[in-house]
Structure 1
Amino acid sequence: MTDPEVPEIVEPSARRTRRRSPKSCEQCRKRKLRCDRGLPCRPCKRSRGALQCSYSPDTTRGAASSSEAPRRASQSASNSEGQADVAVILDSLKFGRERFHTAGYQPPATGDQAKNSNGNNNTPDLFPRPQIRIGTLETDKTRLFGRAHWVHALAQFNLIEKLQFLGPSALSGLQEGMGSLCREVASRRSSLKHHRTLELNDPLPDLARTLPPKATCDQLLSNYWRFFEPLFRVLHRVSFEREYDSYWTGSTKPSTSFILKLSMALGLGAVVHRDLEESGRIRYLAKSWLYAVQWWLMGPMEKAARSLDGVQTFCLAVLLRQASSLGGASSISTDALMKLAMSVGLHLDPDGFSVYGPFERELRRRIWHTVLELTVMGSLDTTLPLLITSDDYNCGPPSNLSDTEIGSDSDDLPQAHPAARFTDSSIQLLLQKSLARRLYMVRKMNGIQKPLSYEETIELGKELKMQCHDIASFFHLRMSSTEGYDQDACEFHRKFLDSYLRRYILFLHRPFALQAGKDPRYHLARKTCLECCQIASSHSAGLNLPQKVTDEFCLMAIRGSGLFKGPLCQDVIIHLGLELVTQLEEERDLRMPGEPTAPPSSADPLIQMSRAGRQPLIDTLRHILGQLRHIIALGQPSCKRYFLLSAAMVHIEELEAGSSNPLPAAMAQLTKCLKDCSELLRLASADVCQPVADSDPAWSDEASPDWPDTFGLLGFDFDLLVG
């Protein structure tokens, strides 16, 4: 190659590295805001002052040439109102091919498509259209259209591009003439919709007045940040606390969504509040707060909730219902939450949308994985089919960053920390490692198609056991560190994650464990289920009612439902009871035919070993039984577990005594327990200082279809009693 050819090679590279002309308006550039390139742009229209939206002469934006920017800036005062009205109407009607495709999620264009979208043509853009407008779906129509939606067919009309032949002057006149008509149609449409809307009474019209004093709110909110937010990432702490401080100082008027999110966070903080009396009062108020949230989410204001704030509020409401035993079918709530999250595009990778800044992209990833976790949890508890697969989303996991490292004004996210470095997102990332496998497991366990084979069950169980080992190692390193971590919060999170994952292992092996008595091939499943229940029940050691409870995990077990019952959950109680009964029946079957049914001699070493092995399980169940009675006395009408365990313990004692018919003794014990509970509930109802938070008799525990004979035990319908 000769020397004269060298400049021809270098010159294109120089052109590629040349700084591009700015596309934002001058006002947005000065204030460092994201400009949507409208005329006037949205940030300028929403500013407190009447900002004049103008573009510099060298600005190239949309499809407009740079020479037209000053002319359109000078005309903005005369026709901006009409242009804005028409643009909003046409934008809401989704006329235009580009808007349809971007609303259905389209990655940023490259190559020739990017060149065309950058405005390298001479067609004036009187209807400004940014490359990706998915962000406006949360504040405008708040809908995300799938590929089969009719709006994509309507897009083929390509109305905007077909009107371009009229020219700029004709289109400008058309907009000015349509401006008043657009406003008139919008006004009449709004009036008609309001007339046809059923007027409902807000269950809590002034929720802010029911919030406790600031000192109490500070303590409850601190409980939420310490114990719940690290598990389920919903809020950005720095941003929320800034809004929280502004609320108490009265510098700004709080938004409705903020008050609702705050009330849900306070309710969750009350779940682990050590003062039982104050916790009861707050949780009693939380029921009213929850009604207000549900009215906002599902009532006449449903459209306002179709946003990122709405998803956050919904997540907190689902958590509060479960953690505070406020009733309701969790599967219905989580399915509705999933649909809401997908309607605002949380299931899509936010990197594909240029309208989102780094902070919002990270926030959307956190919230989406929280929605996934709550959905899988709800399906596991109710044993109903899971309605989502890993093929339905492509949103990646969040970064290992703390809240103080990112903010709404961040231009770029910092480099994510290694997995070994603890941040505010570390626990969510720990759960995320096994999320795909757990999602697959729940679909197979609760589906009606081909179930999991025994071999596949063993492999999946091994994976979850390794995950439990990793969690134990993670918290051991953290609690032994010299950095001064919150020991109570670490212990709470360790117990919660361990109980949560072992619940999957229990449900995974339980169908085979129930067959182990007849088929010895399933002995490993029986052994695995027993280990899971023993480990889960060991977390009840910190529960010693009526003494003051200082273990937050046990406090949640007292007040929670489903997964949040922890060591007091019905699955653990039933399986430990069945294991003891099975061992005693197997011991009885070893006797020779015709041998008396009296208890075997204690001199037999095998009998001594068997009794010694059973005694820790019996002691654990007796401890749980006593704690369940005290919980009822506190005003928690959770009776089903108490009745089942009382009857089971008498059944076990009768078998150990050599009885061949333990049914009469179990029935007598059940009658005694009914009288005892009736008196306890009467005293709890009369005590005005202990409000009954769970007074609805229609609430019941999660279904357990794998135990068909248990709920029919002794011929009594235990579903009448709240679990």
Structure 2
Amino acid sequence: MDTQATADGLGNLIQVLKQPRVLSCAQCQKRKVKCDRCSPCSNCVKAEVLCTPSTPGPARKRRATKQDLLERVERCEALLKGYAPVVDRPQTPSSSNHVPDDPPVASFEPSSSAQELNASYITTRNDGSVRFTDSFGTLVMHEELVAIQNSIKSDDSADEGPRESAYESPYKTLPVTEFETSASDTPDTQPGPVEAMNLWEHFLERVNPLTKIVHVPTLEPYVMRAAVGMHLVPIEYQALLYSIYAMAVISMSEQECFDLLGHSRDTMLRHYGGSTKRALMKYNHRENYTMITLQTLILYLLTLEDRIHRHASWVTSGIVVRMAYSMGYHRDGECLGLGPFETEMRRRIWCQIIIQDAKNALLSGLSAAMLPMQWDTKPPLNINDADMSPSSDSPIAPREGPTEMAYVLVARLIYAYKIDCDNHIDTPINEAILLGMSLTNDENTDRAVFGKFREQSEELRRALESYTAKYIGDGAGKVHVAATILKTTILEKLDDALSPIKEQEEWGIEIFNWKDNLFKMIMLSMEYQCNAHDKMAAVGFEWYMRLQFYPDMLASLTSQLYRRPMGSLSDRGWRAVERLHGHYPELFDMSQRQQLMQAQFTLKAWEARKIAVAQRGGSLETPAYIVQLGQALSEMEAHKAEKPIDWNALWTDLQPFGDRLNSFMGEEFVQMSDGPSARGHGLV
């Protein structure tokens, strides 16, 4: 009896559950009032309107069962096997299920020191964030900066140091990945017709020859219209033109900018940079991917190179790489059936994107191997802008002689070599061997590494010599002079880097280990920087060398000079430091944190040199730039604020890494001997 009652109850419950759910009527849903779900409902009766049942919404998608998911995974695995068949690996006797790791690229098994070297590339900054570098040179330079920082900190604990500047670091105020940051609704004040044409001429003469990402005959009509009124051109062209104006300002000296525009370079860069960002926002550049957008972003990021942290530059250039990738720029236009003009412009833009991203990766201590490798875009043709037109349908034939593309094509060969090396060589370990650090105690292995690098460098040398013989002309213009300077500088750097430590003329005199060799390499790098700067300035491309200046190299050089106050290499290093201060006036600007700390480095190292010379019975005449640094620092201290400088914040601005390097480098490497106080400014 009880069983029958239970069954009847369950049956009634099932019938109730099977009944369709009564929904609110359409009128109640529209008025957003509670419906009694009768037919007709009381609300509709009172309102004397027709009560219409509402339409049920679509049924929810059935959740995938575990079996469905397993079947999908199996299908995916089958597809993957078709594209990438599993490679058989030898099994170890100890475990038939163990799959050994891939062997290292180098031809030797890393020793314990090599393993420690690899483990030390993950480093922690003072603010707790983590950075990675796969460049041995960057790793060691960071160690030098840590040492000099500790030295300055120890001095400040005994002698109250300079106070916090009223100015903020540019690294903390400039937008990087969010282009709309700090963009306001303030109307853009466009340059007048005369100013606009002057800016355009500066761009054509100084910037365009080294970038070649715009087609001048096609863009010039928009420039003419924008000079009359910016509203006469589409919004995407407004963004491009403002970025061109900003690059023209970058190419000017401070005096040129003031004479032409009536304001400082920094003021006009902020103005045109902000106008570029606002135009990009209005155009919605994140969704509207066009060739104009890419051209604008490339030029805009160039204007930021010396104003934001190098890691921020690399991260931001990655956005442009992905944007171009999504537009298919990694595939050659001929494969996509595009016209000759668009195909060539895509090649130029993709070439510049790859160069820019590889350079930012190099300055960030990372390898260019992180670039997308699945691309088949051909190099740009050796042609002038006049050789192609948007209306042309026939294939474009390359020229056999000098053209406007000289510098870009030489730079492409160099960065292609760099990318190829990073993709096929274990960069960190081989960098250490090139400096003279033996990780295997096997001279044959070290010679093999040098031989591999020499072979690749000879390939680059042959490619550059062949290209310059065909396409570089002595009287073909300033851009050809710049291309020759670039080729010569790179080949000289390679020759120095590929000279074994024991074959150098300073071996046994001033060079005794890889650390001494590193000092020489840094000093030579600064010499090449100064030499190239002088030559490029003579042909109107000084702005480009300003963007190539690497402040951490100067900081590392001065910290090494502190430890090595005497010697021929030290003398050459100090001459390079003096030339750098002549080339970069911003090093005297104590309102910026990075320059402030660099001034501390330089003055402290100079005082150590004076003491070392005096101990040997000699004397030094204080150079003018040392006097100027001391005066600038004294003036800053005279206007100090209430709170002391946050040295951790200073250090974070100056470099990306932290202090987790002692396990490999050794404690003695970061312990700098007690030196003279920088407070004397080296003037006594």
Q: TM-score range by the shorter chain?
A: 0.5 to 0.7
The match for 2:359 is 377
> Superposed, which structure 2 residues align to 1:89-238 within 5 Å?
203=183, 205=185, 209-238=188-217
Give the paired residue count.
Answer: 455
For the aligned residues, what is the CA RMSD?
5.2
The match for 2:330 is 347
Query: CA offsets per residue over residues 380-416 of structure 1, 9 Å max, x none?
Result: 1111354645732111101111101101011123321
> Superposed, which structure 2 residues align to 1:290-309 within 5 Å?
290-294=273-277, 301-309=284-292
Which AA in structure 2 matches 1:460? F
CA distance in structure 2 between the aligned counterparts of 1:570 and 1:493, rounded to whole angstroms: 26
Per the TM alignment, residue 671 of structure 1 is displaced from its structure 2 partner at its CA by 13
> Superposed, which structure 2 residues align to 1:8-23 within 5 Å?
none
Task: Sort the Cα spacing of 1:554 and 1:415 in 2 relative to 1 into closer, same or farther, 3 A.
Answer: closer
**1:244 is aligned to 2:223:** yes
> Superposed, which structure 2 residues align to 1:571-720 within 5 Å?
571=553, 574-575=556-557, 578=560, 581-582=563-564, 584=566, 615-625=571-581, 631-632=587-588, 638-658=595-615, 676-677=632-633, 679=635, 700-701=653-654, 703=656
CA distance in structure 1 between the aligned counterparts of 2:652 and 2:369, rounded to whole angstroms: 24
Which AA in structure 1 matches 2:405? S
Per the TM alignment, residue 263 of structure 1 is displaced from its structure 2 partner at its CA by 1.2
> Superposed, which structure 2 residues align to 1:405-420 within 5 Å?
405-418=387-400
425, 434, 437: which one aligns with 2:405: 425
528, 535, 541: which one aligns with 1:535: 528
CA distance in structure 1 between the aligned counterparts of 2:500 and 2:653, rounded to whole angstroms: 22
CA distance in structure 2 between the aligned counterparts of 1:713 and 1:272, rounded to whole angstroms: 40
CA distance in structure 1 between the aligned counterparts of 2:197 and 2:362, rounded to whole angstroms: 34
Structure 1 unaligned runs (5+)? 1-199, 544-548, 585-609, 660-668, 684-695, 717-723
Which AA in structure 2 matches 1:425? M
Per the TM alignment, residue 569 of structure 1 is displaced from its structure 2 partner at its CA by 4.3
Per the TM alignment, residue 540 of structure 1 is displaced from its structure 2 partner at its CA by 5.3
Per the TM alignment, residue 333 of structure 1 is displaced from its structure 2 partner at its CA by 0.8
Structure 1 stretch 621-630 or stretch 231-240: which is displaced more?
621-630
CA distance in structure 2 between the aligned counterparts of 1:450 and 1:475, rounded to whole angstroms: 30
Per the TM alignment, residue 580 of structure 1 is displaced from its structure 2 partner at its CA by 8.4
Partner of 1:340: helix, strand, or coil?
Answer: helix
The percentage of aligned residue pairs carrying the same residue is: 12
Partner of 2:211: helix, strand, or coil?
Answer: coil
Which AA in structure 2 matches 1:439? I
> Superposed, which structure 2 residues align to 1:216-365 within 5 Å?
216-249=195-228, 253-276=232-255, 278=257, 281-294=264-277, 301-322=284-305, 329-354=312-337, 356-365=338-347
CA contact (8 A) 2:240 2:296 kept: yes
Per the TM alignment, residue 571 of structure 1 is displaced from its structure 2 partner at its CA by 1.4
CA distance in structure 2 between the aligned counterparts of 1:480 and 1:423, rounded to whole angstroms: 9
**1:403 is aligned to 2:385:** yes
Task: Sort the Cα spacing of 1:400 and 1:577 in 2 relative to 1 into closer, same or farther, 3 A.
Answer: same
Structure 2 unaligned runs (5+)? 1-179, 435-447, 617-624, 640-648, 676-684
CA distance in structure 1 between the aligned counterparts of 2:230 and 2:190, rounded to whole angstroms: 18
Task: Sort the Cα spacing of 1:365 and 1:416 in 2 relative to 1 into closer, same or farther, 3 A.
Answer: same
Task: Sort the Cα spacing of 1:435 and 1:387 in 2 relative to 1 into closer, same or farther, 3 A.
Answer: closer
CA contact (8 A) 2:273 2:300 kept: yes
Per the TM alignment, residue 309 of structure 1 is displaced from its structure 2 partner at its CA by 1.6
Query: CA offsets per residue over residues 318-370 of structure 1, 9 Å max, x none?
Result: 1111156698811111111111110100011211112x211000000110011
Which AA in structure 2 matches 1:641? Q
- Greater relative contact order (Cα < 8 A, sep 6+): 2
Per the TM alignment, residue 643 of structure 1 is displaced from its structure 2 partner at its CA by 2.7
CA contact (8 A) 1:496 1:553 kept: no
Partner of 1:347: helix, strand, or coil?
Answer: coil
CA distance in structure 2 between the aligned counterparts of 1:248 and 1:672, rounded to whole angstroms: 42
Per the TM alignment, residue 531 of structure 1 is displaced from its structure 2 partner at its CA by 3.8
Partner of 2:264: helix, strand, or coil?
Answer: helix
Q: TM-score, normalised by structure 1?
A: 0.51
CA distance in structure 2 between the aligned counterparts of 1:469 and 1:523, rounded to whole angstroms: 31
Query: CA offsets per residue over residues 665-697 of structure 1, 9 Å max, x none?
Result: xxxx999967733626999xxxxxxxxxxxx98
Which AA in structure 2 matches 1:309? I
Per the TM alignment, residue 234 of structure 1 is displaced from its structure 2 partner at its CA by 1.5
CA contact (8 A) 2:330 2:350 kept: yes
CA distance in structure 1 between the aligned counterparts of 2:501 and 2:267, rounded to whole angstroms: 39
Which AA in structure 2 matches 1:212? P
Which AA in structure 2 matches 1:428? V
CA distance in structure 1 between the aligned counterparts of 2:193 and 2:650, rounded to whole angstroms: 34
The match for 1:27 is none
CA contact (8 A) 1:402 1:424 kept: yes
CA contact (8 A) 2:565 2:609 kept: no
Task: Sort the Cα spacing of 1:296 and 1:539 in 2 relative to 1 into closer, same or farther, 3 A.
Answer: same
Per the TM alignment, residue 625 of structure 1 is displaced from its structure 2 partner at its CA by 4.2
CA contact (8 A) 1:220 1:266 kept: yes
Partner of 1:364: helix, strand, or coil?
Answer: helix
Q: TM-score, normalised by structure 2?
A: 0.54
The match for 1:391 is 373
The match for 1:88 is none
